[in-house]
Amino acid sequence: MSQKLAKESFRSVFKVVDKESLRWFPGHMGKGLKQMQQRLKKVDCVMEIHDARIPFSGRNSDFKYTISGIKPHILILNKVDLIDSRIKKQIETKLKNECEHVIFTNCKLSNDAGVKKLFPLAQELINKSDRYNRSGEEDFCVMMIGVPNVGKSSLTNCLRNRFLRKGNASQVGARPGITRSVLMKIKISEKPLSYMLDTPGILTPNIPNTEVGLKLALCNTIEDHLVGETTIADYLLYWLNKFQHFEYVQVFGLKEATDDILEVLTQIALNNGKMLKFKDPSAGMYVQRPNLDAAAKLMIKSFRIGELGKLMLDEEFL
């Protein structure tokens, strides 16, 4: 691992970025928030799902105030396979101030311990609650909410597979915003009869600062092109250097750590044969140059699939 550059050699703040590009709030998501609030009275428990890589800054403050104290509430940190398991306890302790019940899940694992615990916990909390306006209802109804692409559909499917032994009901996608409309109730258990309401992903329209927006983009909760792949890749490089995670040097075949995104992207493009061919009129021949956009996409992908290490982007909160 190359650590030749001292911490001071790297940027201490991330500049650039057009803040306007981070205000991504498609109409169906705004509608989703309203529907979610209306539906709160029809449910017995709320499962709030977040990306474990951004357990603090990824949360939607509107959710917190809408839910708190009204219905049993479980905070799920999904994609736990992508973070270092040794910091789970610290994250949990910190979040317990806001939510008593924090569960980590990995929807890619068929027999995940978190998924296993989740529904029994929801049942227990519902049984202990007075269920307000739903006390006469026999069936349990759970609502899953969260920012886009955190794994709401995957988790609904996991619960269904586990407790009902049935196949997928919700569409899963690698792009944010796949769940377009509120699906009707999805049965997740027969005994007790329980349903899940699958709502569209909702992202806070009020991203408090650029850095939070970039973390959300890095975790794919905002479509890449809206922020710009090169900007996201540059933020990733800034973050990796700031927190001294130098695995990227080896992964991308660099000589040493660097703060220069063009250097990194050029190397990635060369390594992967991502070249653009164009005609140079002065020389009268075709020449090639590195395709930096394609390289930025590859760099972001490396982070998202965990190639650069098991990274939790909210390190400064611990």
Q: Which residues of this protein are in contact with ligand GTP, per CB under 6 A?
A: 78-79, 81-82, 106-108, 146, 148-154, 172-174, 176-179, 201
109/287 with CB nearer ligand GTP: 109
Q: Which is nearer to ligand GTP, 108 or 242 (CB)?
A: 108
**What is the smallest separation between the CB atom of 148 and ligand GTP, expressed in angstroms?**
4
Min dist CB 161 to ligand GTP, Å, is: 13
Please, are residues 189 and 209 in contact by the beta-carbon 8 Å criterion?
Answer: no
| Shortest CB 200 distance to ligand GTP, Å | 6
Q: Round to whole Å and give the CA distance between 261 and 267.
A: 10
Q: How far is the CB of 111 from ligand GTP (least distance, A)?
A: 13
Which residue, 106 or 194, has its beta carbon nearer to ligand GTP? Answer: 106
Q: Which is nearer to ligand GTP, 157 or 189 (CB)?
A: 157
State the minimum distance, in angstroms, from the CB of residue 48 to ligand GTP.
Answer: 12
User: Smallest gap, in angstroms, from Cβ of residue 127 to ligand GTP?
Assistant: 28
Q: Would you say 177 or 290 has its CB closer to ligand GTP?
A: 177
Cβ-closest position to ligand GTP: 201
Residue number, 146 or 213, with CB nearest to ligand GTP: 146
Q: How far is the CB of 53 from ligand GTP (least distance, A)?
A: 10
What is the token pair recorded at 53?
């890589």
Nearer to ligand GTP, 39 or 108 (CB): 108
